[in-house]
Amino acid sequence: MTRARGFTLIEVLAALVVLAIALGAVLSGMARYADTAHHLRMRTLAMWVAQNQLGVVLSQPQWPEEGKRDDTAEMGGFEWEWETTVQATQDERLRRIDIVVSDAEGDNRYAQLSTFMRNPGGAR
């Protein structure tokens, strides 16, 4: 009687365990990649919102008033909350402008821009 050649049940089960572990690692890596890609997309869109707001402030012919202003904007199919803060500086010819952009719920801050603006009308 000749013995049949092939894999034993133990060998097949061991191979399946190794395959399951490898697939679990691959799926975990893919999920992490998708999460990172989504976060980067959100940060990019939020930065565009911040840059748009900064452009609005800097293009005004008048000196921006000190204080806070906030509103919402739509970008990339998402609703964003932005807040612009204008502060005086030690140099009376400059104002500091900070813009913070968060998701619509305000839970996650995705972008922040800061710059200084010179008085367009000269010294005050």
| DSSP tag of 37 | H
> What architecture does CATH give domain 9-118?
2-Layer Sandwich (3.30)
Backbone angles phi, psi at 78, to 5 degrees: -120, 150
Binning pLDDT at 50, 70 and 90, where does residue 88 land?
Answer: very high
Instruction: Render the burial of 33-42: b for 16+ CB within 10 Å, e for the rest.
Output: eeeeeeeeeb
| Amino acid present at 112 | Q
User: pLDDT-derived band of residue 123, with 50, 70 and 90 as boundaries?
Assistant: low
Q: How far is CA 12 from the centre of its chain?
A: 46
Query: What residue has token string 């061991």?
Result: 14
* Residue extents of the structural domains in the chain: 9-118
pTM for the model stands at 0.75
